[in-house]
Amino acid sequence: MKKLILLFSFLLAVPFTVQSAGGPSIELEEAGNNLRDKDSLQRGAELFTNYCMACHSVKYMRYNRIARDIGWTDEEVIAKMSFGMNKVVDHVMTRMPEGVAMESMGVEPPDLSLMSRLKGTDYIYTFLRAYYQDENGNWNNKALVGTSMPNVLEGMQRHASEEDYAQAVRDLSNFLEYVGEPSKVQRYDLGWKVIAFLLVLLLLTYLLKREYWRDIKH
């Protein structure tokens, strides 16, 4: 028994040790997004189209899947995200011609399909809010110092209220979390059902066990 307790306390300690290794240098802000909020996802998809797709793709997603999941028709998703230029079965690819990014920024903008899985939704939220101008007026980013991504939301940041800007970034982070795992909400919903099923099964097997052992002296 003692050994078992020791083993379990060791296993419990593992996640904490892993968590403290690596990660960004600044404290992450909580995105506070909600994957069930379809209005937010729709706003996020439009913001992504207008502010990010010039450089970034989400190459594992097709337009029709996005439409189905966030509550648009096929026509709507093509009108809003591709301005009529794509078929609904196409993958969501940047409109930047190949090679241009390398020439102008010296680096290829990463595909954002799995960015929220890689760095976390809170990281994306924090990263987009961590741009600042140094004393010479050059833009830098506290979460990714020396980044070659320009502060593409500068105009919005300037004209919107603090709250509206935070909400826009939250919507974008929400959308990027969604594309990172499109069936996450279904997975959560299924999880409860599976646990409920197992609990019922536990009760039934317990009753069955009692029935089997009823007449046996033990």
Smallest distance from ligand HEC to CB 144, Å: 4
How far is 186 from 75, CA to CA, in rounded Å? 25
Smallest distance from ligand HEC to CB 1, Å: 47
Q: Please report whether residue 102 would count as binding ligand HEC according to CB under 6 A.
A: no
3-state secondary structure of 141: strand
Q: Please report whether residue 58 would count as binding ligand HEC according to CB under 6 A.
A: no
**Which of 131, 143, 118 minimizes the C-alpha distance to 27?**
143
Q: Please report whether residue 55 would count as binding ligand HEC according to CB under 6 A.
A: yes
Q: What are phi and psi of 20, to 5 degrees?
A: -80, -5
- In the block, tokens 């536990």 appear at 202
Binding mask 115-154 for ligand HEC (x = CB under 6 A): x---x----x--xx---------------x--xxxx-xx-
Element (H, E) at 131: strand 131-133
Smallest distance from ligand HEC to CB 114, Å: 11
Q: Which is nearer to ligand HEC, 14 or 106 (CB)?
A: 106
Cβ neighbourhood burial of 203 (10 Å; 0-12, 13-18, 19+): exposed
Is there a contact between 98 and 125 (Cβ–Cβ < 8 Å)?
no
How far is 192 from 199, CA to CA, in rounded Å? 11
Binding mask 10-29 for ligand HEC (x = CB under 6 A): --------------------
Size of the site for ligand HEC (CB under 6 A): 23
Q: Which is nearer to ligand HEC, 74 or 91 (CB)?
A: 91
Q: Which is nearer to ligand HEC, 109 or 182 (CB)?
A: 109
How far is 194 from 198, CA to CA, in rounded Å? 6
**The pair of three-digit structure tokens given for residue 71, joined into one six-digit string:** 């509550």
Binding residue (CB under 6 A) for ligand HEC from 52, 77, 78, 130: 52
Interface residues with ligand HEC (CB under 6 A) are: 51-52, 54-56, 105, 107, 109-110, 112, 115, 119, 124, 127-128, 144, 147-150, 152-153, 172
